[in-house]
Amino acid sequence: MTTPDFPSALERATANSPFLARLIEQRPAIVAHLRQGDPDAALALARQEGEACDTVSDGLRVERGGVALAAAIADLAGAWDLTKVTRTLSDFADRACDRAITAAIMERTPDAQPHGFALIALGKHGGRELNYSSDIDPILLYDRETLPTKEGEEPAKAAVRIGRRVLELLQEPTACGYVFRVDLRLRPTPEVSPIALPIAGAISHYESSAMAWEQAAFIRARAAAGDIALGERFLEAIRPFVWRRSLDFGQIRNIDTMRRSIRDHYSGGQAIGPGYDCKRGRGGIRECEFFVQAQQLIHGGRDEALRTADTRAALFALAAAGHVPRGEADDIAAAYDVLRTAEHRLQMLHDRQTHEIPKREEERDAAARLHGLANGEALIGWIAPHAERVDAIYSDFANWEEAETPTLPLEDDRLDESLVTIGFAAPVNAARLVRRWRSGKLRAIRSERAREGFEAVLPALLQSIAQAPDPLRALARLDSMFERLPSAINFFDLLLARPALIALLGRLLSYTPVLADQLARRADLVDRLVEPDAKRLPGSVEELVAGLRPPDTLDYERYLDRVRADVTEMRFLLGAQLIEGQVDPLAVAAGYARLAEAAIRVLTDRAIAEFQETHGRVAGGELVILALGRLGGRALTHSSDLDLVFLFTGDFTARSDGARELGATDYFNRLSKRVIAALSLPTATGALYEVDTRLRPSGAQGPPCVSVASFAEYQREKAWTWEHMALTRARGVYGSKRAREGIEAVIGEVLRRPAADDLGEDVRSMRTEIEAHKKPVGPLDVKRLSGGLIDAEFVTHFHQLSAKQGLSPELPVAARALADAGLVDEDFVAARDFLTRLLILVRLVSPDCQEPPEPVRALIAEGLELADWAAVMQALKQARGAVTAAWEAALGPREPSKAKD
């Protein structure tokens, strides 16, 4: 970093900027601080001189001149970076606006407190990014109930008079100059509305009738002056208007339309050279800002980290979240710094709000020399590569100038022919649905813009669905989606912006009954497919917990609904990853399990907090949750139940300390039911999971939650062999580390006890019982088939209990340990993994376990990385043979199942 050079900066300013030369001559005391390299002292003096003036009007103008001089010289000297400069200017704007509002109110009502009137800063002022000679673009609001008024005066008239006085104090030219030019045209309907708006009316406007550009404007909104609490209340009320949870790719079109209109309007300032407009020109400041704001609008509804008014901070937040490549973020940030700095040099010449590289050579040279460059040619050479890079990035991002999309004919006979060409062998029913969608009867496809989007995406969408195993069923699901959408504009905009989604949507509707039904109920799930995490596996349980936990300020039901909605979306994405075939099904199964465990933690925490408000706490006691089955083994399918056991620590004779006290046993039993309900009761967003607690001590007839001591006693003295087999996959998923480790120590001690003499007979008997009552439902029921996953699990559990080897709840780990110990062979390990992968896929694409149609067969083969369906069937046969061989080696001849394989 170079050493700041204040003498050189003062010299360049005097020689090249008439405006700064005049200030340097007029403000010698401030210049003295600057010569000593102390711009902060210069700022402080500017404020003191302003406050010493006889009137607020003169004081603001005097301070403004001192701030302008100090900021310019600190900038030119290299002491302040762009952020420091713009924030210094913005903070002065806040202070000036606040003093003007206070003065305007106190002049009219000297005895009143200056409440009830707020200034909302928009644009660069809102983002604390004011440029050197910037206008400010505020909205003025008032509260009828708290605004000070004269006796008998209507609040609306008082607010307008206060607003006019504020404008006069800020922008009226006097012998001391001006403070800021004020542009109020960003307020709602500026051509007819008063300059100050009642807060209730403003909120109503933004909730009901605001335009798209107004949404973009409020990205950088901030309560900057006056009654800050009033301003923040307004911004909080309109937050859902600005930050929409559903992706709105139509905003890219709106913003790009604005960009194009600016290019057309300022056509002379587009080419980089003399006359180039650093703000509105191609690759200029506005395109840097639009690039950031468009993606904030699209993604900020889901990610609060993106809701920052600072352009560069938002840019890097977008990069950190994966929405923008880091290299592009770095390039745009560098360009933004250069373009904003160049803009400042141009404005410092004469204190004019200009963005244009001067056409006159001497003016270009002066701006260049002010910055320390040789001449105007060097100035253009400094700007050009950055503007060209921004132009390339932005044009690629918002490229809507594509070839026209083919449409389907409107005539009935030609429509049928087109549908046959697309791939519908019997087009009658498909054509009937297309005509229904075109009829205007569906609310979602009624507006002109929605119909345009519908016709644009329809051919590709139908082409994708035509290849489905059951195209008409897929079309019916699409019809259900359209029925449930209040408007399909955003849906079609999304598909137009991301054409690859059309093919994926077709696959989801066609091949996955579970995901297709979810889409039919919640079309907004399509939005999630374009998020950066859509193709990533979930992180650790701790990371998921942090991401899933909503604000504590939400009431209980809204809190649960938010978690359920987020978990549903993440499960949907995992299913979509399986359908795309880009990830190992075993990795997806582990992701399902981490997500379920995180949901348990978040929902249980909130259920406990809610329960404690009424019933208090039980001293020395806490709820502990054990996971068994697939969740215990960290490998769920999309539709897996959660096998849970609820326990509590402490003295079962203790009582809670709440307003409605309960005995410990009753307390934890009621609490466990509350947790089960949080996980499983259907709500507006649906149920998350089916919860199965039948593996608890004493089974379905016993209490839902028992003490740890009772659980330990039961497992040591009363549990059956099948219960100890289930216990091999038990692990704590909720509770303090100490409590979970204590219970897992009990489990370890129980599992390491000598095995019963009749262990093998018990295992064989249980398998026979299952076969008698739960026969395979189809040829792909790889769980129940002879030689399937139940057999593999029983073989594993037998060796775990008899040899005390591989005592891990994760079956892949256990199987590997057993193979290393020589108890099973490598074929068994591979067979178990193959059967699990197949199960995970089948549960999603063929839940009835019947042999699927050809397109689904190809999808399963692809997911298993096999050549075709014949290879899948051969691999299944070999896997079942390997499992059967392991069974017979451990437990004797495998009695053939009477079920049809």
pLDDT band at 746 (very low <50, low <70, confident <90, very high): very high
User: How many helices and strands in the chain, by DSSP H and E?
Assistant: 40, 9
* pLDDT of 154 higher than 50: yes
pLDDT at 316: 95
Give the pLDDT confidence of 417-475 residue by residue, as tens digits.
888 888 888 788 889 999 999 988 888 898 888 888 888 888 988 988 887 888 888 88
Closest residue by Cα to residue 121 from 105, 141, 102: 141
pLDDT at 897: 46
- 384 vs 439, more confident: 384
Read off the tokens for 27.
Answer: 């403000």
Cβ within 8 Å of residue 202, ≥6 positions away: 139, 141, 188, 234, 238
Rounded to whole angstroms, the Cα distance separating 84 from 736 reads 47
Give the pLDDT confidence of 828-840 residue by residue, as tens digits.
999 999 999 999 9
Answer for the pair 345, 16: CB distance below 8 angstroms, yes or no: no
* pLDDT of 342 higher than 90: yes
A 10 A CB-CB count for 466 gives: 21
pLDDT at 54: 93
pLDDT at 242: 85
pLDDT at 248: 58
* pLDDT of 368 higher than 90: yes
Residues of the chain above pLDDT 90, percent: 64
Mean pLDDT across 345-370: 95
Rg value, the chain, Cα: 35
* pLDDT of 900 higher than 50: no
pLDDT band at 266 (very low <50, low <70, confident <90, very high): low
First-to-last CA distance in the chain?
Answer: 76
Read off the tokens for 602.
Answer: 């978040």
Closest residue by Cα to residue 793 from 804, 779, 782: 782
Mean pLDDT across 720-746: 94
* Residue 663 DSSP code: B
Residues of the chain above pLDDT 70, percent: 94
Ranges of beta strands (E only) in 605-718 are 623-628, 642-648, 691-692, 705-707
Rounded to whole angstroms, the Cα distance separating 250 from 263 reads 20
pLDDT at 412: 75
Residue with tokens 């009828």: 144
Dmax (CA) of the chain: 107
Mean pLDDT across 487-511: 83
* pLDDT of 401 higher than 80: no
A 10 A CB-CB count for 490 gives: 23
Mean pLDDT across 567-590: 92
pLDDT band at 399 (very low <50, low <70, confident <90, very high): low
Looking only at the bridges linking them, the beta strands covering 691-692 and 642-648 are: parallel
Cβ within 8 Å of residue 769, ≥6 positions away: none
pLDDT at 487: 79
Rounded to whole angstroms, the Cα distance separating 253 from 236 reads 27
Most confident stretch, 70-74, 206-210, 704-708: 70-74
pLDDT at 253: 63
pLDDT at 901: 42
pLDDT at 215: 79
Rounded to whole angstroms, the Cα distance separating 898 from 256 reads 67
Most confident stretch, 305-309, 326-330, 552-556: 326-330
Looking only at the bridges linking them, the beta strands covering 623-628 and 691-692 are: unpaired
Q: Is 139 helix (H, G, I), strand (E, B) or coil?
A: strand
- 477 vs 1, more confident: 477
Give the pLDDT confidence of 667-703 residue by residue, as tens digits.
999 999 999 999 998 765 557 899 999 888 876 677 8
Which residues make beta-bridge pairs with 137?
122
Give the pLDDT confidence of 786-798 residue by residue, as tens digits.
999 999 999 999 9
* pLDDT of 589 higher than 60: yes
* pLDDT of 38 higher than 50: yes
Rounded to whole angstroms, the Cα distance separating 211 from 195 reads 19
Rounded to whole angstroms, the Cα distance separating 693 from 643 reads 6
- Whole-structure pTM value: 0.75
Give the pLDDT confidence of 198-237 residue by residue, as tens digits.
999 999 988 776 676 777 788 899 999 999 999 999 999 9
pLDDT at 144: 95
Rounded to whole angstroms, the Cα distance separating 765 from 794 reads 11
Q: Average per-residue pLDDT in the chain?
A: 90
pLDDT at 898: 43
Which residues make beta-bridge pairs with 458?
none
Lowest average pLDDT, out of 169-173, 742-746, 753-757, goes to 753-757
* Residue 490 DSSP code: H
